[in-house]
Amino acid sequence: MKRIDLEHEDLVRVWRRDFPILDTRPNGKPLIYLDNAATTQKPFHVIEAEANYYRNTNSNVHRGVHWLAERATDAYERSRATVARFINAAHPSEIVFVRGTTEAINLVAHSFARPRLQPGDEIVLTTIEHHSNIVPWQIVCEQTGATLKVVPVDDTGTLDVDAYARLLGPHTKLVALAHISNALGTVNPVRNMIEQAHALGIPVLLDGAQAVAHLPVDVRALDCDFYAFSGHKLYGPTGIGVLYGKSTWLDAMPPWQGGGDMIRTVSFEKTTYNELPWKFEAGTPNIAGAIGLAAAIDYFGTIGFSAIEASEHALLDYATVELQRIDGVKLIGTAADKSGILSFVVDGIHAHDVGSILSDAGIAVRAGHHCAMPVMTRFKVPATVRASLALYNTHEEIDALVKGLARVKEWFGHE
């Protein structure tokens, strides 16, 4: 493709044109969107795919015999096949559409873990999980008498893999961990961790919410048992996400929610369930969302991971150096293997104040605990400012962030 020959920054300028929201001007200033770990912006392709669905195809799926119903069902199931190819699942029936990462993890907690857990059993997590990958496990632990074991991290935000190996044992029933940490950007050595768990017969769930938009994911190469992600962090719509599960597990799991579409026959004496993946999709699904997600994946395919990774990594390296040069700014999370997330604190200034002054300058960052309070506790900070990168971010935007931080310090008389 011609695009690949361009320099990175030129490439980024071409990609930016695909995202209409980047033309909005908060407070009359150009929008600098650095809150991509919370949600990414949407390209025309996704916006149009959803609009076109409602314009031309809208109907309920798997039910009607009429032309529109067939068209909608076709489009919905083709989206599932697109997702399966995207993460290299063995078959589209291993792809369950859900609302997002949170719902995917809850599904596994309630349908997979709860029936298997007994008092004394253990689930292994890490210190750097999102609340979505902590609380569902706490709930099933309360219900079953199982307990959580937590893998510690060092001062850079890197998992202690020796401690992980020691935590695995005969009582471990499941490992659940982030592929990439949303609070720190650490890329965890998941392939090795899965291998170690499997050597002891322990299944592994990966929370891929931060990974799918930043590195190629191959669930069969990883050999993970479950993989969860959200469409909206992958340039797709909100309200749609994916649970991948190995069919052997999904087949053995009871349905999670009951209702239409997930059944084969219903009587008051006995109901029989639909086959995979529909057994787990009770009620009318987010059809437009699934189609929008497939459009996001197709859009992604036209750009290619190698270009995105190269561009985001160059920007991460640049931003890391620039931020570390600012007096009083301290990066939280400096693992050797990192994705485009820069969490930091500014000496003597609360993260929320930093965030709101940056907002006046048109710069959107996140300030808070990032749904990862145990991370804040571990690093002894109440909150951090988080700048997170996407394919459309530029060096100029990092320069603007650095300038904005100088303004923040002036404002507080720290300069």
- Footprint of ligand PLP on this chain (CB under 6 A)? 37, 100-102, 130, 132-133, 178, 182, 207, 209-210, 230, 233
Please choose, from the candidates 235, 238, 261, 255, the residue with its C-alpha nearest in 3D space to the C-alpha of residue 73: 261
CB 181: neighbour CB atoms within 10 A? 31
Smallest gap from Cβ 288 to ligand PLP, in A, equals 17
Say if CB 168 and CB 200 are below 8 A apart.
Answer: yes
Q: Smaller CB distance to ligand PLP: residue 141 or 206?
A: 206
Return the active site residues: 371
- Give least dist CB 178 to ligand PLP, A: 5
Closest distance of CB 139 from ligand PLP, Å: 16
Which of residues 342 and 405 has its CB atom nearest to ligand PLP in the complex? 342
The least distance separating ligand PLP from the CB of residue 244, rounded to whole angstroms, comes to 15
The residue among 37 and 95 lying less far from ligand PLP, judged by its C-beta, is: 37
Spell out the residues 6+ positions from residue 21 whose beta carbon is closer than 8 angstroms to its own.
Answer: 31, 33, 41, 42
- Which CB atom, from 212 or from 405, has the smaller least distance to ligand PLP? 212
In the complex, minimum distance from the CB of residue 366 to ligand PLP, in angstroms, rounded to a whole number: 11
Q: Which amino acid is at 30?
A: P
C-beta of 333 vs 404, nearer to ligand PLP: 333
Q: What is the DSSP string of 308-349?
A: HHHHHHHHHHHHHHHHHTSTTEEEE---SSB-SEEEEEETTB
Q: Could you report how far apart the first and last alpha carbons of the chain are, in Å?
A: 48
Strand pairing report for 263-265 and 272-273: antiparallel
CA distance 278 to 345: 46
> At closest approach, how far in Å is the CB of 176 from ligand PLP?
11
Q: What is the CA 251 to chain-centroid distance, rounded? A: 25
Cβ neighbours, 10 Å, residue 63: 13
Residue 3 carries which side chain, given as an amino acid letter? R
Nearer to ligand PLP, 329 or 341 (CB): 341
Q: How far is Cα 48 from Cα 212, in angstroms, rounded to an integer?
A: 22
